[in-house]
Structure 1
Amino acid sequence: MDLQPSGRPKEELLYLETDKIYFTIKGKNRNCEIDDKDVDGRGYSISYEEKGVNLIVYTKKAYFFEYENYELLIEKKDKDIDLSFYHENKDIRNKITKNRSGSLSGIVTFKGEIGYSDLVIKVNGKDHFIIQVEVFPAKIDYRKDYIAIRSDVNEEIYNLAFDFLKRTYSLGGLSKHKGDSLSEYYSILNYIFEKLKKALKTITTMPHHLLVNERKVVSYHKLKNATSETIKWLEKRPEKLVKKKDKFLPVEALEVRKKVTLDTNENRFLKFIVKSILFKLKELRKRYFKLERIEDSSFISRLEGFAKTMNKYLTSTFLKDVGQYHFRENLSMVFKMAVGYNDVYKYYLMLQKGLTLNGELFRLNIKDLPLLYEYWCFIKINGILRKNYNLISNDTVKVKNNGIFVALKKGVESKVVYENPENGERFVLSYNSKMPSETVGQKPDNVLAIDKIGEKATYNYIFDAKYKLDGASKGSSYEKHNKTPGPKEEDINTMHRYRDAIVHNNEETGRYEKIVSGAFVLFPYEDEEEYCEHPLYKSIDTVNIGGIPFLPRATKLMEEFLREIIGE
C-alpha cells in the first residue's frame, strides 16, 4: 500500500515569462504565516538588466523561508538561446543544472541566510533580469527579533570597544593614535551623534561646578565679611589703617567670598572636545568641495546640521564663559564617573582613535542566522553581566594597526572577566572554551566559570546556543511529553553528554571528577511565561539541565538565572 503524502505539497510560488524564457519557483506555500504589516512589498522584486525585456509576472506575493527546499525551473522559448544562472552562494549556484533541452532546473535551499538574495538569469552570457527574493526566518520574528539581534550585536560590540578604550588609553596616549581618515571620522560621528547630543544635553542641565574663593579689595564700608585672610592682608599693609578716635579702621581691605564657578578644568576639556568636533566638520566640508564632484545635498545638509548643533553648545550654553583647556596627564574622575561626562568622553575616545571594528564578526555574512544567533548569545550575556558587575578584562577586543579588532570567531576561545562588587568574587564568561576530557575534547559555546570565596572548586555552567526549536506539532511525541514548544530533545541530550564527558583528574584522590555544575540550551522562543511550565525548564531545578528561551524580547528568565547562580 502506498504511503500517504505528508506535509504541504509544492505549489507555484512565483511564475513569470519574458519573450525568451519561462521562470518558475515551486515550494511550500507559507504565505499565511507572514503578517503583511511586518514585511515590505511582495517578498520579491525584479530588475531588468537587458533592454526591451517584455516581462509578465503572474504572481502577486511569494515569501521564502530559511531551510526550505525550492525547485527552480528556467525554460527557454527558442532552441538557439543559451541559458545560465548565477547566485553569489556557490552551493545554490551549483544546484541549478542544465538538461538536454538546454533548460535549467534544480532544488535549492537558502539555509540560514536571512534577508535579500539575488537570483540572476542570464541569456547568451548576459544578464537578462534579476529576481531579488527576501528570505524570512522560520523560528523567530523577522522584524522584531532578527533586526533586534543584529542591532544588539553592533551595540554590545561597540560597548565592549568603549570599555576597552577607557581602560587602555590615557588622554595623552590617544593624541598619538588619531584616526587619519575624515570619512571614517564622519561615519563614526554619524553613528554616535544622537547619543552625543543626549549626553551634552544632560551636562548642560547639571554641569560640573566648583565652590571657589573670590578675593577682592573693597572699600571699608562695602566690606561684608572679614576673615582671617582679611586680617593677615591688613597686617602686611599698615598704611591702609587710619586712626579715628581710639580705633584703627581700614580705608580698604581684602574681602574673600565663596562663589560657584563653572569654569572648571573638566568643563574646559568639554569645550575643547566640542571645538575639536566642530573643527573636523569644517575640515571635512572644505575637503568635500575640493573634490569637485556632483554635490550631495543630503550629505551637506547633515554635515551643516552637525556643525550647527556643535556651535550652539559653544555659543548658547555655559561653555561660552569657560576658558581654554590646559593639558593634564591625569584625567579627572568626573569624565570617568559623572553622568553625561563619561558618555561624552567615550565618544571622544571613539572619534580620536578612529574606531574601525574589524574581525570575523564583521566579515561574516550577517545573513547566516544560526552563527549570528550564536554570536548574539555570547554578546548579549555579556551585556546582561555588564549591567550589574564590574568588567575586569576582555580579550574579545584588541588593538591592531588598522584600528579596533574584534577577536570573536567560531572555534577560537574568547574570555571576559567580571567581578561582583558586593563580595569581590570573580567569574569568567568564555566563548568556545576547550574543556578537559579524557576522551573526545568538548567545546561548548558559552561557559560561565564562577570562583566562590573560600572554596577550591570552580562552578562551571554551560550555555549552548542552538538556533533550533521544536514546535510541538500536534500528535508528535514531543507534544505528548512537553505540550508546548521548546528546545530539541537531542540538544538536551548533548547537555547531558557535556556534564558526563567534561572531567578533570583530582590529584589528591586520583579519580576523575565532573566539573560542570549545569548545562543549558539557549534557543529562540519568545513566550517565557508559557515556557515556565515546560518540563525542560522545570528540569533545571531538579537536575540542573534544561533549556532557557533567549531572544531580544525574551531575556527575563536568563537574567534571573544569572543573578541566581552568581549570587547563591
Structure 2
Amino acid sequence: MKKTILSFATRNFECSVRADSKKIGSRQNALLTVLKKREKLCKLLPRSELKFTYEEKLTSLSSELSALNLCPLGNLKSLPIENPIFFENTSYEIEIRFVDLVTSCLPTHHLQRIQGEFSVNAVRTAKEMAWLRLNLNFKNDLGWFTVPFSYVKNGITIKQSLSFEVLPFKMDMEQDLNAIYRVLDKAHPLLRFSWKSATEQNFNRSRSQHEPFELLWLAEFKSLNERMQSGYKQVLNAPHNRLMPEDIRLKAERLKGKIPNKLAEKARANIQASLLNRRYALKQKRLSLDTPENQFIKYALNAISHKLELIEQKVSVLDKAITKKGNASVFSEAFYANLYELNKPYQKFKRFPLFKQISDYKGLNSESLVLQQKSGYSLIYQSWHQLKYYLDVLGNEASVSVKNIAELYEVWCFLQLADILQSPPFNFELKGENPSLVGRLDKQKMEYGCKKGNDSLFLFSRGNGDQEVTIELMREFSIGKKNNNAKNHQNSYVSWMAEHKPDIFMKVTFADGLEYVWLFDAKYRIDSETNDRDMVPVDALAQMHRYRDAIIYRHNADTLSRPVFGAYALYPGYFIDQYEKNPYHQSIEQIDIGAFPMLPGQNHKWLVEFLKEIIEADSSPKTIREESPTYFMQSINIKKRSSTKILPKGIYSNNKYAF
C-alpha cells in the first residue's frame, strides 16, 4: 500500500511522493548493508537532494522516511534529503497540484513512454485545480530522473522541473558502477549511452578516441547553451572591428594624401597626355567587421544551428521507422519543441545584418587574443572547443542518458570472463584479429549496441598441435525452436519448445577433439528473502535448469544429445573474501547448476577455481570415450565431475547403461 513519503509546498504548487514505505525502508537497509560490506564504515545512508530548474520559495515540508528538519524554508534551488528514498525497481506516484492562480499545466518529458504515464487535469475548473500525476517504476535505470512541466500563472508561462537521483540497492553507485563503466569504456567509449533511457548521469573526463555521437553533443550543448547565447548577445552589441587592408582603384582627381612616388609620376604623365579616365591601384586601410574573429563567430553559429536541425531530422526518421512497425514513438512532442526552442535564438542571431557583412571563415593564421580574451568572443570560443571535443570535457555540467544497469552488467560479465581466460592461470590467447564486442553505430537507433551470436565470437587458444585447447565465447547465442532449417542440418543446436538466448555461451574443445558447453547468465538481481548473505533468486536458478534440459545438439538425423554440462547465474553478490566455499558449491559439484557472485574489485576466486576444474592445465589428448545411444561422451577431465554420472536417460547400475 502506497503512503506519502515526501511532501512539500511552494508558492506555485504542492508536490507529494507516494510509495510503499515498507519497501523503501527495506531498500534503505539493503543499501546500508551494501556500503558496510564494502568497508565503508558508515552509520548513515548517503544524502540525496531534489533539484529545481529555477528557484522556488518553499513554504512547507514533511517526510516519513527522511530527516528534513534541518532544511530551512524560503527560496531554494535544491531540497536536501537526509536519506535516499528513490530506488531502482520501485514504484512511485508523484503528484503536483497547482495553486488557484495557475490556470493550466502540461508535462514536457522528452520520452513518449514517460509522457504517456502522466495523468493530467490540464485546465483549472471551478471545482478542481490544475494537477499532474506520474506513476512510474524506474526498473533498472539509474541516475538522475527529471519531471519537467510548464504552467501558466497570471498569463505568464513558467517552465520548471524536479530532479532526483535514483540509486541502486544491490551495489555501491560510486565504487561498483564506476568500475563497470571503466571496463565498458575500454571496449568502446560510447557503448553505454542511450537516447531511450529515462535517467541521466554525470561523467568524469575521458580521453578516449571517439566518433561523432549526437546524444553526447546535445547533452554538452545543453550545458553550454546559456554561455553561448550570452556570448553572441555581447558580440552583436559590440562587434570587433579593425583596420583591414583593401585594394581600390581611383581616378587621378581622387588621389589624396601621401601616395607612392612611382604612382604620382605615372598619374602626372597621364594627365599631361590627357588620359584623364585612367584609374590607379592603391592599397589603403579602413575599419571593417569582416575580420577572422567575426568569420569564426559566424562559422560557429551556422554549425550549431545546422547540427540542431540535423539531430531533429535524425530523431524524426527514427520515430517514423518505429511507428511504421506499429510501435509507439520514442520521443514526445515536448522533445521536438525543446529542440526548436534551443535552435530558435541561433536562427534569430543569423538574421542580424552584422553577419551579412562577414565572409566565409578561412581559418586563423595565428592565435587570436580577441577570441581568447574579448568579452563575448571568449565565451563562444571556449564553448565551441568544448563542443568540438565533447567527450574529452564531458563531466562537469553535462548529463547523459545511459542504458539500464542490467544490460550493462551483462556485457561487463562477458568482458570479465574473457579477461579471466586470458589471465593466469589459464593464459589463453585470442586467435585472429582482436575481436570487438561492439558493433557499428546503429543509424536508426542512433546508439551503439553489442554484437550477438556468431558475430560476438571470441576465440581463445592454448597449446599447439595435439595439445591445443580452444574456447569459443559468444554473447546471446540464439538457439531457436525446431524448424526445417535446423532439422535438415547436422551438427546444430536446436530447441523444441522455445527460443533460448543464454547471455554467455562457452564451448570448450579439448585436445582429444571433444567439445563441451557451459552457459552463464548475468542476473542483476539479489534474492530479497536472504538477509545474511547475497544469493541469487530461485527463479534464476530454475532458468539454468531449463537451459540444460531444453538445448539439444543434433549430430545427424537420428542422433541427439544434450551438450550443456552446466549452467550458472552470475549475480552482483558481495562477499568480503572468497576463501570460504561458494554458497552454491554443493549444487555445482553435484548437478552443475548454481551461481557465482560477480562484482568489480573482487578476485572472483570461486569462478576461477571452477574454471580450473573444467579446463585443467595438464589437459591430455588421451581420452576415454564412452558412447551411449544418446551420444553422451566423456573425456578424462569431465568424467571426474559428479554431474556427468547423472544420465539424462536410463538407469545407472554396475557401471553399465540400462535402457
TM-score > 0.5 by shorter chain: yes
TM-score, normalised via structure 2 length? 0.49
> In the alignment, which of 3, 15, 26 is matched to residue 10 of structure 1?
3
**92-101 vs 381-390, greater mean Cα deviation:** 92-101
Does residue 500 of structure 1 match 2:582?
no
Contact 2:167 2:173 (C-alpha < 8 Å) held by counterparts: yes
- 1:142 shift after superposition: 1.3
Looking at structure 2, the residues matched to 143 and 285 of structure 1 have their Cα atoms a distance apart, in angstroms, of 43
In structure 1, the partner of 2:516 is 459
Does residue 472 of structure 1 match 2:551?
no
Deviations 1:87-125 (A, max 9, x none): 344333322202464322232121111011111132139
Deviations 1:495-517 (A, max 9, x none): 11111111122339x23100111
In structure 2, the partner of 1:449 is 507
Q: AA paired with 1:16?
A: F
User: Unaligned stretches of 5+ in structure 2?
Assistant: 36-41, 62-67, 69-79, 122-127, 192-205, 211-362, 393-399, 480-492, 617-636, 638-659
Deviations 1:501-557 (A, max 9, x none): 11122339x231001111100111111647955653321111111011111133332
SS in structure 1 of the partner of residue 371 of structure 2: coil
Looking at structure 1, the residues matched to 579 and 502 of structure 2 have their Cα atoms a distance apart, in angstroms, of 24
In structure 1, the partner of 2:130 is 102
Contact 1:22 1:75 (C-alpha < 8 Å) held by counterparts: yes
In structure 2, the partner of 1:114 is 142
Looking at structure 2, the residues matched to 287 and 431 of structure 1 have their Cα atoms a distance apart, in angstroms, of 51
- 1:135 shift after superposition: 0.6
Contact 1:391 1:418 (C-alpha < 8 Å) held by counterparts: yes
Looking at structure 2, the residues matched to 541 and 391 of structure 1 have their Cα atoms a distance apart, in angstroms, of 29
Report the CA distance shift for 1:134/1:80 in structure 2 as closer, same or farther (over 3 A).
Answer: closer
The residue correspondences of 1:307-326 to structure 2 (distance < 5 A) are none
Looking at structure 1, the residues matched to 462 and 612 of structure 2 have their Cα atoms a distance apart, in angstroms, of 11
In structure 2, the partner of 1:390 is 429
Report the CA distance shift for 1:438/1:112 in structure 2 as closer, same or farther (over 3 A).
Answer: closer
Does residue 429 of structure 1 match 2:486?
no
Looking at structure 2, the residues matched to 528 and 42 of structure 1 have their Cα atoms a distance apart, in angstroms, of 27
How many residues are matched?
370
Does residue 152 of structure 1 match 2:183?
yes
Contact 1:413 1:433 (C-alpha < 8 Å) held by counterparts: no
Does residue 292 of structure 1 match 2:371?
yes
Contact 1:484 1:534 (C-alpha < 8 Å) held by counterparts: no
Report the CA distance shift for 1:467/1:399 in structure 2 as closer, same or farther (over 3 A).
Answer: closer
In structure 2, the partner of 1:539 is 587
In structure 2, the partner of 1:85 is 107
In structure 1, the partner of 2:412 is 376
Looking at structure 2, the residues matched to 497 and 491 of structure 1 have their Cα atoms a distance apart, in angstroms, of 10
In structure 2, the partner of 1:514 is 562
Report the CA distance shift for 1:45/1:144 in structure 2 as closer, same or farther (over 3 A).
Answer: same
Deviations 1:335-366 (A, max 9, x none): xxxxxxxxxxxxxxxxxxxx99xxxxxxx952
Matched residues, percent identical?
Answer: 23
SS in structure 2 of the partner of residue 128 of structure 1: strand
> In the alignment, which of 22, 25, 42 is matched to residue 17 of structure 2?
25
Looking at structure 1, the residues matched to 566 and 58 of structure 2 have their Cα atoms a distance apart, in angstroms, of 59
Looking at structure 2, the residues matched to 134 and 395 of structure 1 have their Cα atoms a distance apart, in angstroms, of 33
Looking at structure 1, the residues matched to 46 and 53 of structure 2 have their Cα atoms a distance apart, in angstroms, of 16
Looking at structure 2, the residues matched to 452 and 547 of structure 1 have their Cα atoms a distance apart, in angstroms, of 24
- 1:73 shift after superposition: 1.1
**104-113 vs 530-539, greater mean Cα deviation:** 530-539
SS in structure 2 of the partner of residue 43 of structure 1: strand
- 1:420 shift after superposition: 1.5
Contact 2:409 2:524 (C-alpha < 8 Å) held by counterparts: yes
Structural RMSD (CA): 4.2
In structure 2, the partner of 1:45 is 51
SS in structure 1 of the partner of residue 171 of structure 2: coil
Q: AA paired with 1:444?
A: P
- 1:144 shift after superposition: 1.5
Does residue 556 of structure 1 match 2:605?
yes
Looking at structure 2, the residues matched to 43 and 391 of structure 1 have their Cα atoms a distance apart, in angstroms, of 47
In structure 2, the partner of 1:278 is none
SS in structure 1 of the partner of residue 113 of structure 2: helix
Looking at structure 2, the residues matched to 563 and 88 of structure 1 have their Cα atoms a distance apart, in angstroms, of 50
In structure 1, the partner of 2:402 is 366
The residue correspondences of 1:266-345 to structure 2 (distance < 5 A) are 289=368, 292=371, 294-295=377-378
User: Unaligned stretches of 5+ in structure 1?
Assistant: 161-185, 191-283, 304-354, 357-363, 475-482
Does residue 71 of structure 1 match 2:93?
yes
Q: AA paired with 2:88?
A: E
Report the CA distance shift for 1:126/1:114 in structure 2 as closer, same or farther (over 3 A).
Answer: farther
- 1:401 shift after superposition: 13
Contact 1:528 1:549 (C-alpha < 8 Å) held by counterparts: no
Deviations 1:419-450 (A, max 9, x none): 12484321111001123224123211101111
Contact 2:48 2:165 (C-alpha < 8 Å) held by counterparts: no
Q: AA paired with 1:566?
A: I
TM-score, normalised via structure 1 length? 0.56
